[in-house]
Amino acid sequence: MASTKTVVLRAFKFTLAPTAAQEQQLLRWCGNARLAFNYALASKRAAHTEWRAQVDALVTSGVKEPVARKRVTGPKTPTKPAVYKAFIAERGDTREGVDGVCPWAHEINTHVFQSAFIDADRAWNNWLDSFKGTRKGRRVGYPRFKKRGRARDAFRLHHTVTKPTIRFSTHRRLRLPTFGEVRLHDSARTLVRQIDRGTALVQSVTVSRAGHRWYASVLCKVEMDLPSCPTRSQQAAGTVGIDFGVKALAALSKPLVPDRPESTLLPNPRHLAKAAHRLKRAQQTLSRRQKGSARREKARRRVARLHHEVAVRRQSALHQITKRLTTRFATIAVEDLHVSGMTRSARGTMDKPGRKVRQKAGLNRAILDASMAEARRQITYKTSWYGSRLAVLDRWWPSSKTCSACGWQNPSLTLADRVFECAQCGLTLDRDLNAARNIEQHATQVASGTGETQNARGEPVRLPRPRAEKQGSTKREDTGPPGPVPPRRSNPPTPPNPRQGQAKLF
């Protein structure tokens, strides 16, 4: 099998086992990362407010808004270099008895501050680009200050690669500059060997807290042997369509394990339901505790811990599935993510704010979107590791309302209907399995260029032959016989998406 040596960025995540004193220290560093982010954001906001005031002054004096915007030149929004310079001037120093915004800064690695300044730059630009409409995806709001207890506890350290200060002193100990050595729960042997052999190079480390755990995510440049096309067995298995759900974790158009037909419906791990029970109890306990009490703090920690454990289990189940999928099939077809429609519908406007926005958006929807996004992220990089590829289909294509055998559509299908029943050919199938089969068929049609779908005005649009990401993967003779003749689709729901009627392949 042909393969190419490629350098990729890869994160290795380790669970830390800090001592009690180290944990306090870690929390302190996270606090300083927050402080630095807020410092940078405050200076950006100040400059922006000043600029806005100058524009407004011109507008009230009779100048048109676009002209005024152009005429006001300063003050410029400071970026990292300027922010860092101002910070050095203002921070103070306890060693010299000079008070300032952060006089203890010398006790903390400078990268904690610098990476927070970079993060603030990114948050600012994301908002600006989103505002201007040059950024894809969900609208990004005006950057907010990070609040203790609200924002994720995390900090990031970089180092010069020629003088590595972030390194493993043993398989079980990670050395962080200025901080010292932290013990790991798990062994870093595989990574240490790669570093020793020169096939991995540490770039940075992000330390974060989730629930009761501390993690170190070590970002490395890794030399990998990436296959340039699917293996024979992957090609023989062909395309698989996946429908992610809440009830079942995922429904597949083909069994995940070849000789186990029941492996088309992947159940949500049972311990999730068990945890849900414990979580409910823990939350009840928390609500009974008096505000500000030590026992309330203890109950709060227990709830956070249970939440985190559920997340970890779901994540590990997803990892197992995505690895199996990407190693077994040549093409993995999924539906595109829910863009931002549902949450926005309840949000309302400034004058007429929506009510119970979060509740309406739905917990299930949130879980589903989160795990779909994560599954998609995993499938994306794993397909590149294992020579397979990912096909993403338009979300507004009615995959659950269409019969996977004859193409008949049931427009009145609701979320409560767990079984799809076809009025035309009599097919009776689990709703999610039917959707998965449709996704597979659609992906195969799109890939072979025979698919036909409709654009917003209901006119048939021939899908362009998709760009093949990897050489050799355009060979489609092994994906089995083409699906039935594509049925004429009725008008899909109102398109909130300009990419309506298209399928991206990458």
Q: Please count the residues of the chain.
A: 506
Quick one: which of 19, 49, 424, 471 contacts Zn ion (CB under 5 A)?
424
Quick one: which of 406, 413, 456, 461 contacts Zn ion (CB under 5 A)?
406
Quick one: which of 59, 405, 456, 461 contacts Zn ion (CB under 5 A)?
405
Closest distance to Zn ion from the beta carbon of 357 (Å): 39
Amino acid present at 212: H
Q: Is 483 helix (H, G, I), strand (E, B) or coil?
A: coil
- Burial tier of 431 (Cβ tally within 10 Å: 0-12, 13-18, 19+): buried
Q: Which stretch binds Zn ion (CB under 5 A): 25-33, 412-420, 425-433, 442-450?
A: 425-433
| Closest to 26 in 3D by CA, of 117, 154, 145, 119 | 154
Q: Which DSSP letter does residue 316 get?
A: H
Q: Looking at residues 77 to 106 of the shown chain, list those that interact with Zn ion (rule: CB under 5 A).
A: none
Comparison of 180 and 426: residue with beta carbon closer to Zn ion: 426
The two tokens of residue 384 are: 């590149």
* Number of residues located near Zn ion, criterion CB under 5 A: 8
Q: Which stretch binds Zn ion (CB under 5 A): 19-27, 243-251, 268-276, 423-431?
A: 423-431
The two tokens of residue 210 are: 């989730």
Q: Which stretch binds Zn ion (CB under 5 A): 67-75, 201-209, 279-287, 398-406?
A: 398-406
Q: Which stretch binds Zn ion (CB under 5 A): 61-69, 223-231, 351-359, 415-423?
A: 415-423
Q: Which stretch binds Zn ion (CB under 5 A): 154-162, 202-210, 385-393, 403-411?
A: 403-411
Per-position x/- string for 116-145, each x denoting binding to Zn ion as judged by CB under 5 A, each - no binding: ------------------------------
CB 486 within 8 A of CB 451: yes
| List of residues 6+ apart from 502 with CB closer than 8 A | 394, 463
Closest distance to Zn ion from the beta carbon of 503 (Å): 23
Distances, alpha carbon 93 to alpha carbons 82, 98, 106, in Å: 20, 5, 8
Q: Could you give the CA distance from residue 151 to residue 208 in angstroms, rounded to a whole number?
A: 11
452 - beta bridge partners?
462
Closest distance to Zn ion from the beta carbon of 117 (Å): 59
Quick one: which of 220, 422, 443, 503 contacts Zn ion (CB under 5 A)?
422
- Burial tier of 119 (Cβ tally within 10 Å: 0-12, 13-18, 19+): buried
Quick one: which of 46, 257, 425, 485 contacts Zn ion (CB under 5 A)?
425
What 291-297 contacts at long range (C-beta under 8 Å, 24+ apart), as own/partner pairs, is none
Q: Which DSSP letter does residue 268 get?
A: P
Comparison of 151 and 406: residue with beta carbon closer to Zn ion: 406
Lookup result for tokens 């100990």 = 173
Quick one: which of 391, 403, 446, 505 contacts Zn ion (CB under 5 A)?
403
| List of residues 6+ apart from 427 with CB closer than 8 A | 403, 404, 405, 406, 420, 421, 434
Amino acid present at 377: R
Closest distance to Zn ion from the beta carbon of 307 (Å): 42
Closest distance to Zn ion from the beta carbon of 404 (Å): 8
Closest distance to Zn ion from the beta carbon of 407 (Å): 7
Closest distance to Zn ion from the beta carbon of 336 (Å): 25
Per-position x/- string for 345-384, each x denoting binding to Zn ion as judged by CB under 5 A, each - no binding: ----------------------------------------
Quick one: which of 427, 456, 461, 468 contacts Zn ion (CB under 5 A)?
427
Comparison of 375 and 439: residue with beta carbon closer to Zn ion: 439
Quick one: which of 215, 381, 385, 408 contacts Zn ion (CB under 5 A)?
408
| List of residues 6+ apart from 470 with CB closer than 8 A | 228, 229, 387, 389
The two tokens of residue 102 are: 């952060």
The two tokens of residue 316 are: 């590990």
240 - beta bridge partners?
332
Per-position x/- string for 25-54, each x denoting binding to Zn ion as judged by CB under 5 A, each - no binding: ------------------------------
Amino acid present at 59: V
Comparison of 38 and 410: residue with beta carbon closer to Zn ion: 410
Closest distance to Zn ion from the beta carbon of 426 (Å): 7
Closest distance to Zn ion from the beta carbon of 462 (Å): 25
Q: Could you give the CA distance from residue 393 to residue 244 in angstroms, rounded to a whole number?
A: 13
Q: Does 485 bind Zn ion (CB under 5 A)?
A: no
Q: Looking at residues 326 to 345 of the shown chain, list those that interact with Zn ion (rule: CB under 5 A).
A: none
Comparison of 222 and 403: residue with beta carbon closer to Zn ion: 403
E-strand stretches of 336-400: 389-393
User: Where along the sequence are the contacts to Zn ion (CB under 5 A)?
Assistant: 403, 405-406, 408, 422, 424-425, 427
